[in-house]
Structure 1
Amino acid sequence: MLECSVWMAGQSSSVTRGCDCLAHRFGNAADNGSRQPRYPSDMTDAEWAVVRPLLPVPGWMRGRGGQPEAYCHRAILDAIRYMVDNGIKWRAMPADFPPWDRVYAFFRRWRDHGLATEFHDRLRGQVRVRAGRDSEPTAAVIDSQSVKADAVVGVDSRGFDGGKLINGRKRHLVVDTFGLLLGVMVTAADIGDRTGAKVLLQRVADAHHRLELVWADGGYTGSLVGHCLAALALVLQVVKRSDGQKGFVVLPKRWIVERTNAWLMRTRRLARDYERRTTSAEAMAYWSMTLLMTRRLARPHPQPA
């Protein structure tokens, strides 16, 4: 039986000889060497204890074909976390991680099969339950964020946001009342908020059947309000600034999604859009939020007085 490592307070732990990931237990990861922790983005043992039961089971273990994986899942997750957190190129992956093409193949497989979203959603449910809420939300907040696009982004998926004066892409976000992602859609920056919201809210409503109320800013007025009620059974409530307000004012509910935008921008890969595909840009947002949630879940749970 494999021996598990012991976590100590303040210790950042990565792959050890006693790693209990599926690739070590049932695959060929034992044929490759382990790595020592070096980076702030590496999972601690407390984080890994949370993550390990929530990981999707690989296809080769479910009889769906494919070779047993040769690299530790924990090492690959740490590599993706490092890339998202530090904004490096795939080919610039540090040598102590698995080869960059294997890490990218793992990222691409999870992106194309919806596994990154599945993993993210399981973590979000755990965060909500730990906070004393139901795993599925009944209220949400929607907003968009325009970011500059790198030169690799093609003209077919980029545009100019005249309001923000940004040439790039736009992230349309729906978050719960904790600021955790319920859905993200990346479009060209010239796509209007209402146009993007119509598609994204349909996806979110299909995935979260208990959702009843969505708060939004003044950019979501008009026919979208009636469409949400008639087609999606959602109440879209617009939170507007008072006519007499001047300067920056924190508005009820809207600050929640603004904080989520700030969380995403803290991971350097998302400070600018570097992805050739919009699906990759969406996956990066989900991976960014997993860093936040695993760290929250790894904290000692406060005991009631």
Structure 2
Amino acid sequence: MGAVNQTTISEFILLGLSDDPALQPFIFTLFLSIYLITTIGNLLIILAVCSDSQLHTPMYFFLCNLSFNDICLINTTIPKMLWNIQGENQTITYTGCLSQVCLILNFAGMENCLLVVMAYDRYVAICKPLKYTAIMNQYLCVMLLLFSLFLSIAHALFHTLMVMLLSFCTEIKIPHFFCELAQIIRLACSDNFINYVLIYTVSVLFFGVPVFGIILSYINILSSVLRMSSLGGKYKAFSTCGSHLSVVSLFYSTGFGVHISSAFTDSPRKTVVASVMYTVVTQMLNPFIYSLRNKEMKKAFRKITSRIPFLL
């Protein structure tokens, strides 16, 4: 007998990071600090790129969009979490939960696409420097951004629509601080096998192909750098790729860590902790990685701070 459709439920319950009341003030303060640091840090990168004409290049154009995407991603999770802690209310509406799923998938997918586009930009800059301006023209940069946005939205809507076909019964508690796709599917009382198959199949394609593209780009970059005779040229090439490689390693290692941990552990809490890394910590560290390892960004930040008297 098939499951009766119970998708008329009005809300889910987000259990958060801990059920200990004594830890809630600490969690609230910690995540509020992370939220403010992430938002301000990424806004400073956007401001620096927009205000400095020397940074109006394809690399910083994509970095600016990456920072904006990071702000959007962290705004889909932490504000609701802080609101629930402050109001001592763990509920989220059914519509709000599906909207959160869709937005998280969209912005995480967009970050995935932007990282591979940035890898291609570095490949062209180092392997084909004489043709860089002609290849990475304004039209191509905009088209790559729009294509990334299209793929991300399509990926997010596909999974969200598949979740809407599921039936939910009385178990509506989500052991997470946001509506994570796998946790929502796990709560379904109808057959969710197809959803699981689609999650892993589409994830392999949507995230695996970009990872392969990034690896291929850096294999060619490394090959070109090793053929350089100048030590200064080698150092400059590696320095321009260092920040991007750090962000790539952080994003994909934590993201894959979540899926691996969810596959080999029965503890939802461990999966939640792993999810914090790729949905919160990565977005917070990105501005530091790009500002600390990039001389041009440091100059742009100094120009901004010099215009603000109270920061002198």
TM-score, structure 1 as length reference: 0.29
TM-score, structure 2 as length reference: 0.28
| Higher-strand-fraction structure | 1
Instruction: Say which structure, 1 or 2, has more relative contact order (CA 8 Å, 6+ apart).
Output: 2
